[in-house]
Homo-oligomer: A and B are copies of this chain.
Amino acid sequence: MVQHVLSVEQFSRSYLFELFHRADAFSALPRHEFTDTARGAIMATLFYEPSTRTRLSFEAAMTRLGGAVISAEYAAATSSAAKGESIEDTARVVAGYADLIVIRHPEAGSVARAAAVVDVPVINAGDGTNEHPTQALIDLYTIWREHGRIDGLTIALVGDLRYGRAARSLARLLTRTLDTTLYLVAPLVTRMDPALVQHLRQSGLRVFEVDDLAAIAPELDVLYQTRIQRERFRDPDEYAAAFGQIIVDQALMEQLASHAIVLHPLPRVGEIEPTVDSDPRAAYFRQARNGVALRMALIEHVLARRPLSAARANGYHD
């Protein structure tokens, strides 16, 4: 059966641990040592929305696995979508060329629609305001690497919790953790959807919506800052009301515990001051770097290039 990666909802706790250990094995490889894992396989990347980070991270991961890449960097302008082709048709055609398709698309649900019609694995690299499951995996993997565990932590999600798919995918993924306290800190116009908040609570998270980041900062193990995404707002006044409200600066860093870490899915446009970068608790560039190893582990899995272990066979809902 083909295993797509569409939503964080499909990952079990045991699958996560197996994936993280495998990513660690890839991280430990000498930098110039590629593997043979994906030898003879072609990955197609179809990006209908701007991205450097995610596309190049996937392509580096596939390259380090010994696989090949064909790429549509600017599919919105250069692909048949510009001629009115449906994402389903595009996917069906590209499935004839490639063994794995990675898609970013502005429309929520579009990647799942593509996956439904093809016989090769499809990975969702972000579908509109909906999900960004590989980013959430990287975020939780980074927490696991930095803190040595994913349970018993106090985590704040900060910024755009309404449109931001990375923060929302991470929140959903945190329901796989135990004994977690989750603070939601957002400007009024980018508060998290109440239905999602309720879902998180019902899934066992202790969730608190707060206004004052500084007040809770000393309690945090993880501060997850996000960008207010101008491209998601229809109303410029709403964007203006949200932008620049919550900044991570030196003053805030002084409130954080010495063992805390600051994450950000990047890019940032001012919501973390550059002076913070040299603080060892600023983990966001390490987080970006972790993306390659995590995606190597994920690609290896969906290409079915390793015998499934019992843990994975049971742990991955699909």
Contacts and interface: CB of A to CB of B under 8 A. Distances in A.
Interface of A: 31-34, 39-42, 44, 46-47, 50-53, 56-57, 59-60, 63-64, 68-75, 77-86, 88-90, 92-94, 96-99, 227, 229-231, 266-269, 274, 285, 288-289, 291-292
Contact of A50 (B44, B80, B230, B268): B80
A90 B52 contact: yes
B52 A60 contact: no
A224 to B, nearest CB: 17
A52 B40 contact: no
Contact of A269 (B52, B83, B231): B83
Copies of this chain present in the complex amount to 3
29 contacts: A34-B40, A42-B63, A46-B52, A47-B78, A50-B82, A50-B83, A52-B72, A52-B79, A53-B94, A59-B70, A59-B97, A63-B70, A69-B70, A71-B71, A72-B73, A77-B77, A80-B266, A83-B229, A83-B269, A85-B267, A85-B268, A85-B269, A88-B274, A89-B267, A93-B288, A96-B288, A96-B291, A96-B292, A97-B291
Given A92-B288, A97-B291, 20 more contacts: A32-B40, A32-B41, A32-B99, A50-B79, A52-B72, A53-B94, A56-B70, A56-B97, A57-B97, A63-B68, A72-B73, A73-B73, A74-B74, A80-B267, A83-B231, A83-B267, A84-B267, A89-B266, A89-B267, A96-B289
A125 to B, nearest CB: 13
Contacts of A47: 78
A70 B43 CA distance: 13
Given A32-B40, A72-B73, A269-B85, A80 B51 contact: yes
B83 A31 contact: no
Contacts of A85: 266-269
Nearest to A227: B83
Contact of A56 (B56, B94, B267): B94
A53 to B, nearest CB: 5
B96 A31 contact: no
B70 A60 contact: yes
Contacts of A59: 70, 97
